[in-house]
Amino acid sequence: SQWSRDPIYRSAKGEGYRSRAAYKLLEINSKFEIFRPTDTVVDLGAAPGSWLQVVRSLTEGTIVGVDLNPIPPLEGVVTITGDFTNPLVQSEIRKIVDLVSVVICDASPKISGKKCYDQARTIDLNEQALAFAKSILKQGGNFVVKTFQGELFNDFLKEVREHFYSVRVYHAQATRKGSTETYIIAKNYIHKRDEASTD
- H/E element, 197: helix 192-197
Written as one string, the DSSP assignment of 92-131 is: HHHHH-SSEEEEEE---PPP-S-HHHHHHHHHHHHHHHHH
- Cα separation values, 108 from 19, 153, 181, Å: 15, 14, 10
Sign of CA dihedral 141, 182, 20, 112: positive
Beta strands in the chain (DSSP E): 41-44, 63-67, 78-81, 100-105, 137-148, 164-170, 181-189
- Cα four-point dihedral sign 142, 148, 149, 153: negative
Fill in the DSSP letter of residue 60: -
Catalytic annotation on 177? no
Please identify which of the residues 24, 146, 158, 177 carries the catalytic annotation. Answer: 146
What is the set of active-site residues? 146
